[in-house]
Amino acid sequence: MQFAAHRYRARLLAHGMLCSMSRKGDCWDNAPMESFFATLKGELVEEADYQTRDQARADVFHYIEGFYNKRRLHSALGYITPEQKAAAFHSAATAA
């Protein structure tokens, strides 16, 4: 596999990046990110017409920080937002 090759990994490291690889034989390792990217594409990117990468980056940032984490209900969290889940966690931790 090219992404696992020594030269490729060395080049990533030289630029301050780490190569992330799933464990052998575990197809579920990347499932949460695959789900996120499917949601991102379906709710934002497929409808957009970006003229520049900066426009795309800004739009994705605002989608994640302004909608996905703050207002979008997540079934895996019991149909609350990640922000609500974090607030409940911190509230429970403070009360304990």
- pLDDT (tens, 9 = 90+) of the chain, 96 residues, equals 555 678 888 888 899 887 777 777 777 777 888 889 999 999 998 889 999 999 999 999 999 999 999 999 999 999 999 999 999 999 998 987
pLDDT of residue 67: 95
Within a domain: residue 22?
no
Within a domain: residue 2?
no
Within a domain: residue 8?
no
Beta partners for residue 74, in sequence order: 80
Within a domain: residue 59?
yes
Q: Is 26 left (phi over 0), alpha (psi -120 to 50) or beta?
A: beta
Within a domain: residue 70?
yes
Cα–Cα distance between 13 and 79 in angstroms, integer? 39
Within a domain: residue 10?
no
Which amino acid is present at 81?
A: T
- Which structure tokens are listed for 53? 């990468």
Within a domain: residue 54?
yes
| Number of domains, the chain | 1
Rounded to two decimals, the pTM is: 0.64
| 22-to-1, 29, 71, 90 alpha-carbon distances in Å | 13, 6, 30, 31
Domain that holds residue 43: 31-96
Within a domain: residue 62?
yes
